[in-house]
Amino acid sequence: MDRDERERIAAKRLLSVLGRHGAAIARTLEQKISDAGPFNQRIDPHILIPVRNDLVKMGLIQKIRAHGRDWFALPDIPPQILHDRIEEQAQVLHLTTDNRFMHRLGDALEIAVFRALRSSGLNSLGGFRGLADAPTIGPQKKEEPPSIFGAKELSGNRRFDFLVGTKLWAGIECKNIREWLYPDRPEIKQMLLKAVELDIPPILIGRRIPFVTRRLLQAAGGLVWEIRSQLYPTEYGNIAAQISHKDSLGFFDIRVTDYPDDKLLDFITRIIPAELPEATNRFQQFKDLFDPYARGHMPYHVFAAKIRRRENGTDEDRDDHDQPENPYDHQS
């Protein structure tokens, strides 16, 4: 499917979803269009967002600022219905904004990963003290991995979520967030900096990791696992039900658990030990590109081009005059 066709589908689905939903935040539109629907009708956010913005400029979609967020709706929606739909969803969204919830949300995936690590043959640094076999309720005591590892040291207050390995080690980064983890996001750049500073390959575990991120990281020595769900701790099951309802925010992929599913367990117990030696070799070949890119000294399209060309054994330093209009298109 070419770009024009994807843009056509994106526009059609945006108008259709808003026609049914009334008003929606960006994350709801992504959930209903990028994550859901027939396989050949799913449009990744790097296409969806520019099309949405173009429709706003054309007046075919209106953007409303309310409750500290942008909401999107069709221009002909009756004002009272628009107001009611925003208020209904904003009340649910507000339940997720307190610090305690955000901390526990981060806990849920990290605890699931830690449970899997305890079942693996890997050594690990970092974890939860006194973790019970039962689902957790309330804040858990996390012991972070060290910032000094071997002869290497992390700058600032940065840490990986876990350090894992036997003779060879890697750093695990867990991201239990709604946003798709594109390679130019701050979370990815910070992970790459940590990998360079400790001189170990990174392992990224997140809800949605687009092809372009998987392609680049795996080529350059990273390991990647997409869990395709967001984990909620047990005590927030009621909030999860409200958020996941199709007429609310529609986040249908929420799972109320802090246990790994079989696929995540397999990734940690089998795939990481099997692939870590090769990942370490590739990381050593590509790590010199991570630091300038992560610090903003190398543009994304140059970073991606150098990885592709080095992988293919071609001249990585030639000028790139054919940069695509959308920098992700060549990898989509």
Q: Average the pLDDT over 275-291 and give the result.
A: 97
| Per-residue pLDDT at 8 | 97
pLDDT confidence tier of residue 324, bands split at 50, 70 and 90: very low
Return the sign of the alpha-carbon dihedral for residues 248, 249, 253, 258: negative
The mean of the pLDDT values for the chain is 94
**Is the pLDDT at 320 greater than 60, yes or no?**
no
| Per-residue pLDDT at 127 | 97
| Per-residue pLDDT at 37 | 83
Distance CA 276, CA 171 (A): 11
Percent of residues, the chain, with pLDDT higher than 90:
89
Calculate the alpha carbon distances from 1 to 30, 40, 52, 315, 329 in Å.
19, 9, 19, 29, 11
Please name the residues in contact with 252: beta carbons below 8 A apart, sequence gap of 6 or more: 31, 35, 36, 244, 246
**Is the pLDDT at 326 greater than 60, yes or no?**
no
Q: What is the pLDDT of residues 139-185, one digit of tens each?
A: 999 999 999 998 899 998 899 999 999 999 999 999 999 999 999 99
Q: Are 107 and 258 in contact (CB under 8 A)?
A: yes
Q: What is the pLDDT of residues 227-281, one digit of tens each?
A: 999 999 999 999 999 999 999 999 999 999 999 999 999 999 999 999 999 999 9
Q: What is the pLDDT of residues 65-114, one digit of tens each?
A: 999 999 999 999 999 999 999 999 999 999 988 899 999 999 999 999 99
| Per-residue pLDDT at 322 | 45
pLDDT confidence tier of residue 39, bands split at 50, 70 and 90: confident
Q: Average the pLDDT over 322-332 and give the result.
A: 47
Three-state secondary structure call for residue 70: strand
Q: Are 240 and 108 in contact (CB under 8 A)?
A: no
